[in-house]
Amino acid sequence: MIANEGISAPIASGVIFWSGILFILISFLGLREAVVRVIPMSLKHAVSAGIGLFIALLGAKSCGLIIANADKNTLAFGKLNSAPVIVCVIGFIILLVMKVRNVAGGMILTILLTTLIGIPFGVTKLPENIVSFPANIGTQFMKVDFLGALDFAYIPFLIALFVPDFFSTFGTVLGVGAKAGYLDKDGNLPGIDRCFKVDAIATSFGALFGMPSMTTYLESSAGVEAGGKTGLTVVFTSICFALALFFAPVALIIPSAATAPVLIYIGINMLSSMKNIDYSDITEYVPAFVCVTFTIFANNIANGICAALPVYLILKIASGKIKKISPVMYVLVAVCILYFYSIIR
């Protein structure tokens, strides 16, 4: 978005850096956790479902099963007889069999088997080398215009970066936390402040290397589905990522068509949270529907949440339940409106 406005890379990195600093202040003051507690239970369940559909769509798009139809301005099936789509479908069938048979490590086995199946289809490309060295980061490090990014003209971009990252992080953490069974009876995740602090620091740190906003890893739900629900999972994942820097050619053997079935399956599973929504109360199920719908249609978790919160507030006021609304909710809705204004400005 910033690049499309013709803003230089150092300025863009500076805006990302200051958005991270704002995250850090809010996170360490405990304000982010307080905001999450104000979000109604129905929307927390909807966020999890929305993330599920979002993940499923990512998987379907990555192998070409679903594409953007420019002529009709809609999503549509891709070329169903293409090799990647065929390999993805075969992988999905294998995964379903693995799950029905309760095969331990079924998702990893599915990815490996689908990768092998992709060889004769020409989807899996064998590497020329086994080991490669990471690229030099010296040309990007500290290429940041800290003072220039503080220009008032860049405030809308700061808001446009801050709000999506804010809501995307809490949405991802709650969605993955719900899948892991870590949410309490009120739909809150104990210790969520630590996730926010790490996310905030990572955003500013990444900006020093010219990286866009670093946020919570949405695909963490794949690890949760496989049974990885402790900090040890993160440690081993980090080690694997570090090794991948040197064995990138091997890691790149795995095609998108091999990982797509896993993402689609996980996304479908996350829809189960919608059963917890009270469909007898229009002030609960309509905002939940808006959240899920616009997460997919607007292709962003934060957009779904920002669209749902104003709807929730309007319905509660119209139904005479204004006393049940926390003052913080009014602030959140104001931030959502400001975010949409920054987009259309």
The CB density around residue 104, as the number of other CB atoms within 10 Å, is: 9
Beta strands in 12-137, from DSSP E residues, in sequence order: 66-69, 74-77
The number of beta carbons lying within 10 Å of the beta carbon of residue 173 is 21
Please check whether residue 121 is in contact with residue 86, taking contact to mean a CB–CB distance below 8 angstroms.
yes
The residue to which tokens 């002030």 are assigned: 283
| Every domain of the chain and the residues it spans | 3-344
Where is average pLDDT lowest: 156-170, 303-317, 326-340? 156-170
Q: What is the pLDDT of residues 172-189, one digit of tens each?
A: 777 777 777 777 777 777
**What span, in angstroms and rounded, lies between the C-alpha atoms of 337 and 45?**
23
pTM above 0.85, yes or no: no
Amino acid at 290: V
Q: How would residue 217 be classed by pLDDT, with cut points 50, 70 and 90?
A: low
Distance CA 173, CA 82 (A): 35
